[in-house]
């Protein structure tokens, strides 16, 4: 095995240059003030103070977290049954369904989201159909509904595939054993299947929550320019305001929030596992 260890080096170099160095730069910028040139920096907590003491920013932070949590919950509620049903099919049918689920991700995300603006517009597809029946028009565009719909649509495949994988990897004989020992199908599901598929749900939550909380493209396209999320503020600090220090500080705050929430989900996961083992 030892001779293969060398093969890790290219990856190590790559991840150092592409991940570690930028992260360190963000760290450096976040704790300094004095412009975008690294040469004349001064250590300071001012950027954090500015974010955490301003009510507007905190409201935006709350909204971003709320939208991300709502997106994740909807993804779990839709994704789990979907994955469960797919996992029950025969091998050949399964593959077809997995292909169908992942197919949309082959197309660029922006293009797909633009398509939604056409569907949800006041004179779009849905409202045209509604007006044919004499109903509507209902305003979908530039609402919470449109933003969450867009995010769920874009991130759902990640959830389904994660849960599906953990469901198919599961040892089916455990369920048979549970049934043999007198558990009814419902108990079988809640005591065996669900706990065993939790790792998939957890990694699905991670894959959905992370991009939703920092997303700025989908909120802008479906929520309009006044739909401000944390990602929007970070983007504007780097691209229009040119205040990289403040932008980095917000990124760092987001990173910390995400790390904490990951830690909590991991804890919950472990707790559930113990409970599952007691059956």
In angstroms, give the least distance from the CB of 241 to other proteins: 4
Q: Which stretch binds other proteins (CB under 8 A): 22-30, 127-135, 150-158, 235-243?
A: 235-243
Instruction: Determine the longest span between alpha carbons in the chain, in angstroms.
Output: 73
Of the candidates 151, 175, 154, the one whose C-alpha atom is nearest the C-alpha of residue 229 is 151
Closest to other proteins by CB, 57 or 97: 57
142 binds other proteins (CB under 8 A): yes
Strands 32-33 and 42-43: antiparallel
68 binds other proteins (CB under 8 A): no
Q: Is 53 helix (H, G, I), strand (E, B) or coil?
A: coil
* Residue selected from 232, 245, 248, 261 as contacting other proteins according to rule CB under 8 A: 232
d(CA 42, CA 55): 26
Closest to other proteins by CB, 151 or 167: 151
Q: Which stretch binds other proteins (CB under 8 A): 18-26, 75-83, 148-156, 217-225?
A: 217-225
How is residue 45 written in tokens?
């907590």
228 binds other proteins (CB under 8 A): yes
233 binds other proteins (CB under 8 A): yes
Residues sharing a CB contact under 8 Å with residue 104, sequence separation 6 or more, in sequence order = 112, 157
Closest to other proteins by CB, 200 or 223: 223
Q: Which residues pair with 33 in a beta bridge?
A: 42
Residue 47 burial (C-beta neighbours within 10 Å; 0-12, 13-18, 19+): buried
Residues within the interface to other proteins (CB under 8 A): 56, 59-60, 108, 110-111, 114, 117, 121-123, 142, 217, 224-228, 232-233, 236-243
């Amino acid at each position: 095995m030892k001779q293969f260890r060398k093969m890790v080096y290219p990856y190590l170099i790559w991840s150092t240059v592409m991940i570690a160095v930028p992260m360190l730069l963000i760290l450096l910028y976040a704790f300094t003030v004095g412009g975008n040139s690294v040469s004349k920096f001064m250590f300071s907590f001012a950027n954090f103070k500015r974010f955490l003491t301003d009510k507007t920013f905190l409201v935006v932070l709350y909204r971003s977290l709320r939208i991300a949590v709502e997106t994740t919950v909807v993804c779990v509620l839709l994704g789990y049954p979907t994955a469960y049903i797919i996992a029950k099919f025969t091998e050949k049918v399964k593959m077809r369904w997995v292909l169908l689920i992942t197919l949309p991700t082959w197309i660029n995300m922006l293009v797909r989201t633009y398509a939604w603006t056409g569907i949800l517009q006041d004179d779009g597809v849905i409202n045209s159909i509604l007006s044919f029946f004499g109903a509507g028009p209902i305003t979908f565009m530039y609402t919470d509904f449109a933003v969450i719909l867009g995010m769920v649509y874009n991130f759902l495949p990640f959830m389904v595939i994660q849960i599906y994988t953990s469901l198919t990897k599961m040892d089916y004989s455990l369920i048979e054993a549970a049934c043999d020992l007198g558990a009814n199908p419902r108990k079988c599901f809640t005591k065996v299947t669900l706990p065993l598929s939790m790792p998939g749900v957890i990694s699905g939550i991670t894959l959905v929550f992370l991009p939703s909380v920092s997303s700025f493209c989908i909120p802008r396209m479906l929520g309009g320019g006044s739909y401000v999320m944390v990602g929007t503020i970070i983007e504007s600090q780097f691209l229009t305001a040119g205040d990289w220090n403040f932008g980095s500080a917000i990124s760092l705050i987001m990173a910390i929030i995400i790390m904490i929430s990951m830690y909590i989900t991991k804890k919950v996961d472990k707790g559930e596992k113990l409970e599952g083992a007691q059956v």
